[in-house]
Amino acid sequence: MKYIKQSLLLIVFVLTIVSYVSAKGIKFGKVSKEQFAIKECSYEKDASAVILSRTCSIDLSYSVIRYFYHVRIKILKEEGFNQANIKLSYYRNNNIENISGVKGHTININDLGKQEVVKVGNNSIFDVDVDENYGEVRFSMPDVKVGSIIEYKYVTNSQFYSYLDTWYFQDEIPTLYSSLKVNMPESFRYNMVMFGSMLQAKYPESKSNEWTMTNMPSIKEESHVNNYHDFIEQLRFQLAGYFTRDKSSLGGTPVFVSSMTTYKELAKEYIERVKFLGRANFAKKQLELILDGNENNWAKLEKIYDFVRTSVKWNGKYRIYPEKSPPNILEEKVGSNSEINYLLVLLLREAGFDCNPALARSNNRGLIQKTYPLLSQFDQILACVELYGKRIFLNATSPYRPFDLIAEKDLNYHAFVLKKENPYWAKIAANARNRQDILITYDYSDLEAPVCKIGLRETGYLAAKSRKKLTEVGAESWTSDLFDLEKVDFQVDSLQFKNEKDVNLSLQMECELNLENGLGGDNDFIYINLFNEQDLKNPFLKESRQYRIDYNYPRSKSYLVKFILPEGYQFEDYPKGVKFVLSQGAGKFMLTSQIIGKELSIRTSFSVNIASFTQEYYGDLREFYSQMIKTMGSQVVIKKIKNSSVK
């Protein structure tokens, strides 16, 4: 049940309307001297602004759900001025939601110590259509300066009963007080799910209808996080059912109507709505053009996948229902994610494969909730093939990936495979072959014409990213991310690629470039950095971390750097062998070095073998990166031999 209309619902219990009262006596426009006296957030002293209070009271009736919001923010620094630009989102499709009662003002203290209030004018409030589904009410708070308190309130009116809006107790700035209250008639039953250790510790039981958290930290920007919202303190509600009246019984016996379906029922309803896969004759004609009849199953799978990924361009839209027919998709050569991957399923089925569509969720939208069947959480359709005891997920929306490499955003642990009679959850496992090998040779044997030779080989996601970047921004930009081009006379024409267009093979590149600076000059010692700045950036500098660390897929990277010296020079110092290992075999870094005559070889290897780490692992990971980058930052020191004749 997506939303309930009054005419369709007979309620046993009479609803008592509860008028809105701000939490804990927080009244609009009534600001205390203590709040104006706040100059910084005591537990986040670098914060540019702080939420003094953010409250919501939800009133459910049989015709509408009303969310009464009230927000008060203190501006602490000029960097916090952006908090005065307000955007209130709502779902406008089919008029399911709208926003009303918007009021706002800025409060400042003048030279006489009196409060001055500047209101947001009605002509400064704009209702904007963001896209086909969402709208935003936008306005800016007036006369904002350091020390201002901005305050606004509004009401969201909704007919969406399947679940209530998620309440987040944290925001991008620290929150001193956050409160949610739900006023619900006894005829409704909602399941509540808590996220976050602090919330669960304070409310171990779910009997309350009001939840308050204080002194909440801001949502920190951290590297290697797919979605922050999986980890912040929050409450979610989903409709379990409601009571109605049994007309057949004398007096109308109360009857509970469950709105909780099962995933099997969800799959059945979804499959019945999709008519895409009935075009067998069309698929058969296409296969006659794609296959020659001599392929084994693996070659057949690869050919069909390659046909779809190169024939149809993804329009960037995420849809779980295809809108166009298979002929129209191929004729227009563009389609949504579901249209492209349903076309792939259609062709693979006609070719004899055990193939089914699968519902998935992009990892940047958060983890899948398997407890409650909810179709709206999915935004992706994958093709799932069972072949020789293996389960393979395919996503043909990118021209840069081979068939066994779904999008990195698809790596979200599970997908729901829509097998007609027996739908099931299946684990999504990342391709383990994601490797980059780089060979760099600095050849100074001829001081008149020193050269740098570079070789590269990439597989898996690393190769897919490189192919995408080479196409979109060009070879020079791609090369500058990998190597320090200041050392060489870079010429794009010198790059020689192999398998650049064949995504099923490793990407390879070779080049030979002239070195800009030799070993000449009057200095007795020459200092050379082994790696560029990109390789020496530590993503884990903060002492603590709030969130899980997401790598999404295992990866490995190796460097072999060689230096060849002429007569009259020798190696004075260079990095020596080291090895750092993460516990439980989760990762490793190793450096080895060797001198043979005038040639120094330094080899490094780095690997991370799991897709994600819990935040408890952060200290070990931070130390691992610190030691690795310190080692990689070491220099090679070359000494000019005195009294030596150098030609």
CA atoms of 245 and 383, how far apart (whole Å) = 44
Q: pLDDT tens digit string along 306-340?
A: 999 999 999 999 999 999 999 999 999 999 999 99
Q: pLDDT band at 259, cuts 50/70/90?
A: confident
Listed residue (374, 362, 414, 367) closest to 269, CA to CA: 374
The helix/strand/coil state of 502 is coil
* Residues in contact with 605: Cβ distance below 8 Å, sequence separation at least 6, in sequence order: 556, 557, 558, 559, 588, 589, 590
- Distance, CA of 608 to CA of 32 (rounded, Å): 52
Residue 511 pLDDT greater than 90, yes or no: yes
Question: Does the pLDDT at position 414 exceed 90?
Answer: yes
Instruction: Give me the pLDDT at residue 68, please.
Output: 98
Closest CA to 368 of 418, 337, 414, 408: 414
Give CA–CA dist 109/114, Å, rounded.
Answer: 5
**123-169 tens-digit pLDDT:** 999 999 998 889 999 999 999 999 999 999 999 999 998 889 999 99
The C-alpha atoms of residue 586 and residue 470 are separated, in whole angstroms, by 31
Write down the pLDDT at residue 399.
97
3-state secondary structure of 495: coil
Band the pLDDT of 534: cuts 50, 70, 90.
Answer: confident
Mean pLDDT within 254-272: 87
Contact between 537 and 522 (Cβ < 8 Å): no
Mean pLDDT of the chain: 90
Residues 114-120: what's their mean pLDDT?
95
Distance in angstroms (rounded) separating the CA atoms of residues 259 and 300? 44
- The string of pLDDT tens digits covering residues 438-468 is 999 999 999 889 999 999 999 999 999 999 9
In this model, does residue 11 exceed pLDDT 50?
no
CA atoms within 13 A on the CB side of 483: 30
Token pair of 361, please?
Answer: 């969720």
At 248 the pLDDT is: 65
Query: What's the whole-number mean pLDDT along residues 493-505?
Result: 95
The edge-to-edge listing of strands for the beta sheet with 134-140 is: 85-91, 134-140, 126-129
User: What confidence tier does 260 reach under pLDDT thresholds 50, 70, 90?
Assistant: confident
Whether pLDDT at 643 is above 80: no
Evaluate if residue 634 carries a pLDDT over 80. Answer: yes
Burial class (CB in 10 A: 0-12, 13-18, 19+), 255: middle
Q: Binning pLDDT at 50, 70 and 90, where does residue 642 land?
A: confident
Q: Which domains does the chain have, with CATH numbers?
A: 6-245 (2.60.40.3140), 264-427 (3.10.620.30), 435-640 (2.60.120.1130)
Q: What angle do CA 85, 88, 91 make, to 5 degrees?
A: 150
Q: Report angle CA 85, 89, 95 to the nearest 5 degrees.
A: 145
Computed from CA positions of residues 131, 134, 139, 145, in that sequence, does the dihedral angle turn out positive or negative? negative
Q: How far apart are CA 527 and CA 513, in angstroms?
A: 20
Range of 64-73, 482-491, 524-533 with top mean pLDDT: 64-73
What does the pLDDT read at residue 51? 98
Position 5 pLDDT exceeds 80 = no
| pLDDT grade for 100, boundaries at 50, 70 and 90 | very high
Q: H-helix or E-strand containing 465?
A: helix 460-472
Express each pLDDT in 45-95 by its tens digit. Answer: 999 999 999 999 999 998 999 999 999 999 999 999 999 999 999 999 899
| pLDDT exceeds cutoff 60 at 13 | no
pLDDT band at 14 (very low <50, low <70, confident <90, very high): very low
Half-sphere exposure of residue 161: CA atoms within 13 angstroms, side-chain side: 23
Instruction: Note the pLDDT of residue 3.
Output: 32
pLDDT in tens, 159-169: 998 889 999 99
Residue 403 reports pLDDT greater than 90: yes
The pTM (predicted TM-score) of the whole model is 0.84
